[in-house]
Amino acid sequence: MSLKSTLSAATALALVTAGGAYAEAHSPTITIATVNNGDMIRMQGYTDQFTEQTGINVEWVTLEENVLRQRVTTDITTNGGQFDIMTIGMYETPIWGSNGWLVPLDNLSDDYDADDILPAMAGGLSHDGTLYAAPFYGESSMIMYRTDLMEAAGLDMPEAPTWDFIRDAAAAMTDRDNDINGICLRGKAGWGEGGAFITAMSNSFGARWFDEEWNAQFDTEAWANTVNFFKDMMDASGPAGYATNGFNENLSLFQQGNCGMWIDATVAASFVTNPNDSTVADSVGFALAPDTGLGKRSNWLWAWALAIPAGTQQQAEALQFIEWATSKDYIELVAANEGWANVPPGARTSLYENPNYQDVPFAQMTLDSILSADPQNPTVDPVPYVGVQFAAIPEFAGIASEVSQEFSAAYAGQQTVEEALAKAQDITTEAMEAAGY
Amino acid sequence: MARATTTRRKIITTAAAWAIGFTIFFPILWTILTSFKTEAQAISDPPVFLFFDWTLENYAVVQERSNYMRFLWNSVIIAGGSTVLGVLIAVPAAWSMAFVPSRRTKDILLWMLSTKMLPAVGVLYPIYLICIELGLLDSRIALVVILMLINLPIIVWMLYTYFKEIPGEILEAARMDGASLKEEILYVLTPMAIPGIASTLLLNFILAWNEAFWTLNLTAAKAAPLTAFIASYSSPEGLFYAKLSAASTMAIAPILILGWFSQKQLVRGLTFGAVK
- Respond yes or no on whether ipTM tops 0.90: no
Closest CA to B138 of A80, A350, A433, A114: A80
Give the nearest chain A residue to B213 (CA atoms).
A67
Peptide bond into A239 cis (omega under 30): no
Closest CA to B223 of B137, B98, B97, B95: B137
Looking at residue A8, the DSSP 8-state letter turns out to be H
**Amino acid identity for residue B61 in this structure:** V
Comparing CB atoms, the residue among B216, B221, B234 nearest residue A71 is B216
End-to-end CA distance of chain B: 31
Residue B48 confidence (pLDDT): 87
Contacts 24+ apart (CB under 8 A), A119-124: A120/A301, A120/A370, A120/A371, A120/A373, A120/A374, A120/A375, A121/A301, A121/A303, A121/A305, A121/A346, A121/A347, A121/A370, A123/A375, A123/A376, A124/A90, A124/A93, A124/A94, A124/A301, A124/A303, A124/A375, A124/A386, A124/A387
- Write b or e for each residue in B101-131: b if 16 or more Cβ atoms lie within 10 A of its Cβ, otherwise e: eeeeeeeebeebeeeeeeeeeeebeebbeeb
Give how far A252 is from chain B: nearest CA, Å: 6
**Amino acid identity for residue A276 in this structure:** N
Q: What is the mean pLDDT of chain A?
A: 91
Residue B60 confidence (pLDDT): 95
- From first to last of the 437 residues of chain A, give the pLDDT tens digit: 454 555 555 555 555 445 545 555 567 999 999 988 888 888 999 999 999 999 999 999 998 888 888 899 999 999 889 999 999 999 999 999 999 999 999 989 999 999 999 998 998 999 999 999 999 999 999 999 999 999 999 999 999 999 999 999 999 999 999 999 999 999 999 998 999 999 999 999 999 999 999 999 999 999 999 999 999 999 999 999 999 999 989 999 999 999 999 999 998 998 899 888 889 999 999 999 999 999 999 999 999 999 999 989 999 999 999 999 999 999 999 999 989 988 999 999 999 999 999 988 888 898 999 988 988 899 999 999 999 999 999 999 999 999 999 999 999 999 999 999 999 999 999 999 999 99
Residue B276 confidence (pLDDT): 41
When pLDDT is cut at 50, 70 and 90, the band that residue B51 belongs to is confident
Residue B272 confidence (pLDDT): 61
Evaluate if residue B42 carries a pLDDT over 60.
Answer: yes
Q: Provide the residue ranges of all domains of chain B, joining segments of one domain with +.
A: 65-270
Looking at residue A340, the DSSP 8-state letter turns out to be G
SS3 A134: strand
Task: Specify whether the CB–CB gap between A83 and B220 falls below 8 A.
Answer: yes
- Beta strands A57-63 and A29-35: pairing type? parallel
Give the nearest chain B residue to A275 (CA atoms).
B40
- Beta strands A130-131 and A126-127: pairing type? antiparallel
Measured CA to CA, the distance from residue B38 to residue A275 in angstroms comes to 13
Closest CA to A216 of A32, A9, A395: A395
What are the angstrom distances between the C-alpha of A223 and each of A412, A417, B183? 18, 10, 75
Element spanning B91, H or E: helix B68-99
Which of B41, B237, B243 should one mutate to test binding to chain A, selecting the residue with the greatest count of A CBs within 10 A? B237
Comparing CB atoms, the residue among A37, A276, A277 nearest residue B237 is A37
Residue A8 confidence (pLDDT): 59
Element spanning A142, H or E: strand A134-146
A139 neighbourhood in chain B, CB within 8 Å = none
Evaluate if residue B156 carries a pLDDT over 80.
Answer: yes
Per-residue pLDDT tens over the stretch B69-82: 999 999 999 999 99
Residue B4, judged by CB atoms within 10 A of its CB (0-12, 13-18, 19+), counts as exposed
B65 neighbourhood in chain A, CB within 8 Å = 41, 44
Comparing CB atoms, the residue among A37, A83, A255 nearest residue B235 is A37
Classify the C-alpha dihedral A90-A92-A95-A98 as positive or negative: negative
Residue A20, judged by CB atoms within 10 A of its CB (0-12, 13-18, 19+), counts as exposed
> Does the beta-carbon distance from A59 to B221 stay under 8 Å?
yes
| Domain B65-270, CATH class in plain words | mainly alpha
Closest CA to A306 of A48, A11, A20, A30: A30
B61 touching chain A per CB within 8 A = no
SS3 A35: strand
Element spanning A137, H or E: strand A134-146
Residue A4 confidence (pLDDT): 57
Residue A333's CB: how many other CB atoms inside 10 A? 15
Residue A364's CB: how many other CB atoms inside 10 A? 13
Give the nearest chain B residue to A267 (CA atoms).
B237
Task: Specify whether the CB–CB gap between A255 and A261 falls below 8 A.
Answer: no
CB contacts < 8 A, A to B, total 93
Residue A292's CB: how many other CB atoms inside 10 A? 20
Evaluate if residue B128 carries a pLDDT over 50.
Answer: yes
